[in-house]
Amino acid sequence: MIPHQFLIPFVLASIASSLCAQDNQRDRAWVNLYEPHSDGPMPYRLMEPAGYDASKKYPIIVSLHGGGGRGTDNAKQLRPWNAQLADPQRRMDFPCYVLAPQSTELWGETQLNHIKSIISSLPSVDTDRIYVLGHSMGGHGINIILQIDSGYFAAAAPCAGTGRTQDNDFIEASLIKDVPVWAFHGDKDTTCPIGPQLTLFGEMKALDGNMKLTTFKGDGHGIAGKFITGADNGITEASSDRCDPESDFMTWLFKQKRSG
């Protein structure tokens, strides 16, 4: 039996613990919107469009995780932007599929082929509006797979990753110059320094490429929760007048359509 002098603190602590657990459950409820699939070579999570109507065509957002999401548990690949995409109002405003595959390796041709296979099996996909976004390893991967098939995606948003290192170039800017790209980077990033991103952006300017770059002043690598919502410390530049000037990320994304 708990002594009476400790009973009230014990009850209050129990109530606080219960409320905390309930809050955490509510905070993680969005995860259940991403249905797990493991019936192929690549595990993935899929969120269907809100108010799905089989008679309509829907865009699809491919979400590429960073290094921390690697594995086969079909869970770690869900990142902060996946929670933001699951926001009820955002789902109503921008109905779409969201595909979150999980890889054990860097994103490349094998993973791209698996992604294409998954998308081809889905009903009611608007194949002219396939988008890809990702952070860190996912940002690097975007620029790699854009070079492999630059005509597959209608738009791309690499965050904190360029597909380059300080010493090695894996990006041929001319191969991706016609894909609408909105890149994001923190200018104090020490994990994936902004230098290669600035070099790529300079090359895109020289090629009259279709790239916007938002630099988050004072931020390091941890900007995964900012590129969808935006932030006051973000400064956006355009590589040419080909770039859509739309300032809201989701509105910009959904305006892009694959040409030809």
Give the total number of structural domains in the chain.
Answer: 2
- Within this chain, do residues 97 and 226 fall inside the same structural domain, yes or no? yes
- The DSSP 8-state label assigned to residue 178 in this structure reads T
pLDDT digits (tens, 9 = 90+) for 155-164: 999 999 986 6
pLDDT digits (tens, 9 = 90+) for 18-29: 333 333 344 578
- Within this chain, do residues 3 and 61 fall inside the same structural domain, yes or no? no
- Within this chain, do residues 29 and 82 fall inside the same structural domain, yes or no? no
Helix (H), strand (E) counts: the chain: 8, 9
- Pairing between strand 155-159 and 125-135? parallel
pLDDT digits (tens, 9 = 90+) for 111-140: 999 999 999 999 999 999 999 999 999 999
The stretch 148-175 carries a mean pLDDT of: 83
- Within this chain, do residues 88 and 212 fall inside the same structural domain, yes or no? yes
Domain that holds residue 43: 34-255
Query: What pLDDT does 1 receive?
Result: 53
- Within this chain, do residues 171 and 232 fall inside the same structural domain, yes or no? yes
Q: Is residue 176 part of a domain?
A: yes
More confident call, 19 vs 94: 94
pTM, 2 dp: 0.88
Q: Is residue 64 part of a domain?
A: yes
Q: Is the pLDDT of residue 70 over 50?
A: yes
What is the chain's alpha carbon radius of gyration, rounded to the nearest angstrom? 20
Contacts of 128 (CB under 8 A, 6+ apart): 154, 257, 258
* Whole-number average pLDDT of the chain: 89
Query: What pLDDT does 39 receive?
Result: 83
- Within this chain, do residues 50 and 113 fall inside the same structural domain, yes or no? yes
- Within this chain, do residues 167 and 68 fall inside the same structural domain, yes or no? yes
| Cβ–Cβ < 8 Å for 99, 131 | no
Weakest mean pLDDT among 15-24, 78-87, 201-210: 15-24
- Within this chain, do residues 119 and 232 fall inside the same structural domain, yes or no? yes
Alpha helix stretches (DSSP H) within the chain: 4-27, 80-85, 88-93, 109-120, 137-148, 173-176, 195-206, 249-255
More confident call, 196 vs 39: 196
Q: How buried is 21 (Cβ within 10 angstroms: 0-12 exposed, 13-18 middle, 19+ buried)? A: exposed
Residue with tokens 């110059």: 177
Phi, psi for 99 (deg, rounded to 5):
-105, 120
Tell me, what CATH number does 119's domain have? 3.40.50.1820
Q: Is residue 232 part of a domain?
A: yes
Residue 88 tokens read as 């009820």
- Within this chain, do residues 129 and 73 fall inside the same structural domain, yes or no? yes
Q: Is residue 260 part of a domain?
A: no
- Within this chain, do residues 123 and 244 fall inside the same structural domain, yes or no? yes
Contacts of 199 (CB under 8 A, 6+ apart): 164
